[in-house]
């Protein structure tokens, strides 16, 4: 709930029911009531304890939105791109108006856990390696990881451009053709480039967890839901001061 009064149009838009401009139209049309009284001024201020209704249905305030999505392959992790569909295209129109952005990216052909949020500070902290938020990836490769790959990941893998990754954790399967990778940064194509530095090529990549929160197994590819308060607390507890 907001700590102080808000403009009525911002309240309606903040609930994810419309854009700010459409909220103004709804209010001017007399479809919004505040504590039982019709209000037609979009700039009217509303107390946090006010009861706001649109067409008789109560409107709950949400300052920020945090979504867990199971990103399918074939979608770009950006808000807009002329090269193809983006993850925002998987959302209904009302949510696409909520100013959501991906908290970190997955490549077009990669899958799994993606956070979409309207909270810019939270987004920055999830992405920044200084925050220490660990991400878990499950990968399949075209040839076995060589012996010593685990130690190389732990020491920090040098990439082809000379940049050295922060220490990460590699847990190969018994046949070393798949693995779990744990890291707290997100350089461009980082997991694929780290594997390539070990002489293997990633065939499939799926992000399985962020900040210790696993992707909900009930979410089909392209599906999403709000992060729970407990999940948000778990991710937030990983943040260090940056």
Catalytic residues: 107
Q: Would you mind telling me the total number of residues written for the chain in this entry?
A: 242
Token output for 153: 């990941």
3-state helix, strand, coil in the chain (%, to 5): 25, 25, 50
What CA dihedral angle connects 187, 139, 182 and 76, to 10 degrees? 40
Token output for 8: 């009525």
Token output for 65: 């939105």
Q: Is 240 exposed, middle or buried (0-12, 13-18, 19+ CB in 10 A)?
A: exposed
Token output for 223: 């599906």
Give residues with Cβ within 8 angstroms of 193, minimum separation 6.
159, 160, 187
Contact 192, 160 (CB under 8 A): no
Q: Output b/e per residue, 16-40; b: 16+ Cβ within 10 A.
A: bbbbeeebbebbeeeebbbeeeebe
């Amino acid at each position: 709930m907001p700590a102080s009064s808000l403009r009525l149009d911002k309240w309606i838009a903040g609930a994810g029911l419309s854009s700010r401009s459409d909220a103004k139209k709804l209010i001017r049309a007399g479809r919004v009531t505040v504590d039982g009284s019709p209000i037609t001024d979009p700039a009217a201020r509303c107390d946090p304890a006010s009861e706001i209704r649109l067409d008789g249905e109560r409107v709950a305030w949400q300052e920020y939105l945090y979504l867990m999505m199971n990103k399918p392959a074939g979608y770009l992790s950006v808000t807009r791109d002329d090269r193809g569909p983006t993850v925002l295209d998987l959302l209904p129109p009302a949510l696409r108006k909520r100013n959501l952005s991906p908290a970190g990216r997955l490549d077009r052909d990669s899958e799994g856990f993606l956070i979409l949020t309207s909270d810019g500070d939270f987004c920055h902290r999830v992405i920044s390696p200084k925050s220490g938020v660990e991400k878990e990836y499950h990968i399949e490769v075209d040839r076995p990881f060589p012996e010593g790959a685990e130690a190389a990941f732990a020491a920090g893998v040098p990439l082809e451009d000379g940049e050295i990754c922060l220490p990460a954790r590699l847990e190969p399967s018994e046949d070393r053709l798949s693995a779990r990778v744990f890291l707290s940064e997100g350089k461009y194509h980082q997991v694929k480039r780290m594997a390539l530095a070990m002489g293997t090529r990633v065939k499939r990549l799926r992000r399985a967890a962020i900040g210790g929160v696993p992707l909900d197994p009930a979410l089909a590819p392209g599906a999403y839901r709000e992060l729970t308060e407990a999940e948000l607390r778990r991710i937030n507890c990983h943040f260090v001061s940056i």
